[in-house]
Chains A and B, each alone.
Chain A
Amino acid sequence: ETGVTQSPTHLIKTRGQQVTLRCSSQSGHNTVSWYQQALGQGPQFIFQYYREEENGRGNFPPRFSGLQFPNYSSELNVNALELDDSALYLCASSRTSRGAADTQYFGPGTRLTVL
């Protein structure tokens, strides 16, 4: 069974640019969540996608957007990058049934640095 994978591993961008991060879910999982983890902090929930629809969103501005594809892989897009967007971005997949999500399985993350 393949775990959650994310690409790229590291990324350097400049302020104002746009970035796309990718996530491949674990086999059999239909739900993807994205988290932002600043240095020394716990992960903060950005949003979740279930069957290609957004299923909940944290306290992040609209320039953070996402997509989930029919194969349940996902993208996180961030527009107009700011210095504070520098963080580790984590993707987690889970299996949702009857409205309740199972345990979340995290990928290794993408380290984004904004200069």
Chain B
Amino acid sequence: DAKTTQPNSMESNEEEPVHLPCNHSTISGTDYIHWYRQLPSQGPEYVIHGLTSNVNNRMASLAIAEDRKSSTLILHRATLRDAAVYYCIWGGSNYKLTFGKGTLLTVNP
């Protein structure tokens, strides 16, 4: 199974940066790292994905360690709307996303 380790919960203040860590020590060289988030009462939502180098998009940045055994999702300025469960997922076959329990992010006003 595509195992990842994430903190159960994290807390942040509004407009501050948030760094969400993920360990994926058994990842292979061709597996992508994906991040999804699930807002309350909604289905999961794609955030970002990457393979080796750091990636940026309008929602977040993804920093991937050189050995690829860990990654960090960076929200540059957290808003109340970013409060969600964040899932770190890896796998070579994109057809099957193996979700763990994720990290519950609380954003304080």
Contacts and interface: CB of A to CB of B under 8 A. Distances in A.
Interface stretch (A11-19, A37-45, A61-69, A72-80): A37-45
B101 A41 contact: yes
Contacts of A42: 85, 87, 99-102
Contact of B43 (A45, A50, A92): A92
B86 to A, nearest CB: 11
Most buried by B among A33, A102, A104, A105: A104
Interface stretch (B14-22, B59-67, B68-76, B89-97): B89-97
B97 A43 contact: yes
B11 interface: no
Contacts of B85: 42
A8 interface: no
Contacts of B99: 35, 42-44
B101 A104 contact: no
Given A41-B101, A42-B100, A42-B102, A101 B95 contact: yes
A57 to B, nearest CB: 9
A4 B102 CA distance: 23
Nearest to B46: A103
Contacts of B102: 42
Contacts of B93: 56, 101
B40 to A, nearest CB: 11
Contacts of A105: 46
Contacts of A30: none
Nearest to A57: B96
A31 B46 contact: no
Interface string A101-115: 111111111000000
